[in-house]
Chain A
């Protein structure tokens, strides 16, 4: 399996330097369609996106990405993913353990 990275040009070029081939340089308009096609790709194990791009997606797509295990979605940059996990912990355990 491979790692895929989706985002704007400045974000993805660094990952290209690390040897990742599945790089999708997209603008904010077509990012949702691109992510959908990656979710259907069985060879992708981890999907890396920028938090700012993640926020621009539709709530439905955000939920799909939150729940996705294969591929696992990792959002980096800015602030966001930890709050998602935090919400999940609060919902499941009933206490905010992420402090």
Chain B
């Protein structure tokens, strides 16, 4: 083994190795706990993500239908001109929060769902079909913002779970066994040297 070629069988090396093993074991334990904690967090968010995804898809179907009705009833030109008359644009604010060392975004949106009179286009010139389409698209945007926050959180958690899992496995199956092997090798070598020494002394005496 390569590890045996590189180590010196001395007592100081043995002490050093023992320290390293202890550190790796405690690190392994902590990382395992972190991995389990992250998986629990993921479980908690998974249901939310599934629900919000289903809601977004449903709302998108509803909004598309309402837009199609508005287009066919009022004409594409009217819908487009209404769209260009809108004043306020939804603004996002990205904050971050920490979940077990993983920085996840917290998205806050302003002025997405507005009242009828706050849209910016004339109420008299447009029909209720357009209002309905606008309304359902505003709800869709609200849901998209929520989905974005949850899905990003999930992506980040999954990324970190994978990273932590790889670290745990590397410590468990590579680092700790190699260090233990090196420690055993030094112990054996030191015992061997001890025996050689005793034998040598006995021969000298004899």
Contact = CB atoms under 8 A, between A and B. Distances in A.
A63 interface: no
Contact of A2 (B80, B91, B105, B151): B91
Contact of B158 (A17, A82, A89): A89
A59 B178 CA distance: 39
B182 interface: no
B88 interface: yes
A33 interface: no
A20 B145 CA distance: 13
A84 B46 CA distance: 14
B82 to A, nearest CB: 7
Contacts, number: 122
Interface size bracket, A side: 20 to 34
A16 interface: yes
Given A3-B92, A13-B83, A76 B144 contact: yes
Contacts of A69: 105, 152, 155-156
B60 A17 contact: no
A21 interface: yes
B186 interface: no
The majority secondary structure among interface residues of chain B is helix
A72 B56 CA distance: 15
A58 interface: no
B72 interface: no
A67 interface: yes
B162 interface: yes
Given A1-B94, A14-B137, A19-B88, 17 more contacts: A3-B90, A3-B141, A13-B79, A13-B80, A17-B82, A17-B134, A18-B137, A19-B86, A19-B111, A19-B112, A20-B89, A45-B94, A76-B57, A81-B151, A88-B158, A89-B158, A92-B161
Interface of B: 39, 42-43, 46, 49-50, 53, 56-57, 60, 63-64, 67, 79-80, 82-84, 86-94, 105, 107, 111-112, 114, 130, 133-134, 137-138, 140-141, 144-145, 147-149, 151-152, 154-156, 158-159, 161-162, 165
Interface of A: 1-3, 13-21, 45-46, 48, 67, 69-70, 72, 74, 76-77, 81-82, 85, 88-89, 91-93, 97-98
26 contacts: A1-B92, A2-B89, A2-B92, A3-B144, A14-B63, A14-B137, A17-B67, A17-B130, A17-B137, A18-B112, A18-B138, A19-B90, A19-B141, A20-B90, A46-B92, A70-B105, A74-B56, A74-B151, A85-B49, A85-B151, A92-B158, A93-B39, A93-B42, A97-B43, A98-B46, A98-B50
